[in-house]
Structure 1
Amino acid sequence: MKNIKYRVWAIKNDCYLDMESGYFYLAPDGTFYEIYEMRNGKTDYNEVYADVQFYTGLKDKNNKEIFEGDIVKFQGVLFVVSYNENEAHYALQTMRCGKLENDSILTSFIASVGEVVGNVYQNGDLLK
């Protein structure tokens, strides 16, 4: 089975979850849960309101892994990495008229010469 890499932005906590610090479960429908043991020994689940961002399988020119939600600088332009479900590929979007628009497919070439400069949650101001 292929190991799928992802990171999780906890919306209410305004931070990335430390996946090593607890037990978490990503359901097939994309819902993310924290698993914890109750005092009576039973296990319970708590839904975490989060944005799960998957690894694209590509690395930038600095050998940094590229995830959905990353801001990539390529040829002087900033792009946001997203997944295009309709066409089943990772896309680069640019900010136009205050909103993100589809622009081009994220390819291994673009990744290898581009650079991750942040992500939409911690560095969203770069896109303004």
Structure 2
Amino acid sequence: MNNNYRAWDVKEKRMYYSKAPFLFITSEGAFKLDPHLKEDRYFLVDKELVITQTTGMLDVNSKEIFDGDIVHFVDELDGETKLMGYVEWENCWWSVNLHPDFLRENDIMDTDIEYKVQGNIFENPDTIYWYKWQKKFITNATK
């Protein structure tokens, strides 16, 4: 599995990626290179962050899919119904927490399904449903 991470800054409402200059994100937090030291030394960024990990999967546009991403996809059961939800680690696999309107259980992610990332629950809390899920997600992630 790919170990790329990103971090949502709760106070500044900004997403940080590991690929940003001098930033290194792990499951332990975000670390920044100290430019004043001769050796490569990192220090922990003192911010309220929600760390999310990649699923190791790419969407239809070759965009990396992360925990907390909002995805759209076609239901594999009938091949027609368009579903949407947000990605989360559940028990021991990646799943899509489906929008409540679909009235069915979460969908385990499958590499055969073409997902399309439509944003994430942090930067796009556009609907009341996503806001409720975002609050639950941040609460659970910061425990």
Q: TM-score, normalised by structure 2?
A: 0.65
Q: Deviations over 1:79-103 (max 9, x none)?
A: 100001x2x1001101328xxx851
Does residue 80 (structure 1) correspond to residue 86 (structure 2)? The answer is yes
Q: Deviations over 1:46-72 (max 9, x none)?
A: 433211111111111122111111111
Q: Number of aligned pairs? A: 117
Q: Counting strand residues as a fraction of each chain, which structure ranks higher?
A: 1
Distance (whole Å) between structure 1 residues aligned to residue 50 and residue 68 of structure 2:
9
Please name the residue that 1:32 is paired with.
Answer: 29
Superposition CA RMSD, Å = 3.0
Structure-2 change in CA distance of 1:46 and 1:8 (3 Å)? closer
Structure-2 change in CA distance of 1:45 and 1:115 (3 Å)? closer
Percent identical: 24
Please name the residue that 1:89 is paired with.
Answer: 93
Please name the residue that 1:48 is paired with.
Answer: 47
Structure-2 change in CA distance of 1:25 and 1:93 (3 Å)? closer
Gaps of 5+ in 2: 75-81, 130-143
Gaps of 5+ in 1: none
CA contact (8 A) 1:34 1:48 kept: no
Match of 2:8, SS?
strand
Please name the residue that 2:116 is paired with.
Answer: 115
Structure-2 change in CA distance of 1:68 and 1:21 (3 Å)? same
Match of 1:109, SS?
coil
The one-letter amino acid paired with 1:59 is L
CA contact (8 A) 1:91 1:102 kept: no
Structure-2 change in CA distance of 1:18 and 1:107 (3 Å)? closer
Structure-2 change in CA distance of 1:51 and 1:80 (3 Å)? same
Following superposition, the deviation at residue 36 of structure 1 comes to 6.6
The one-letter amino acid paired with 2:112 is F
Structure-2 change in CA distance of 1:94 and 1:47 (3 Å)? same
Structure 1 segments of 4+ aligned residues over 6 angstroms from their partners: none
Q: Counting helix residues as a fraction of each chain, which structure ranks higher?
A: 2
Following superposition, the deviation at residue 126 of structure 1 comes to 5.0
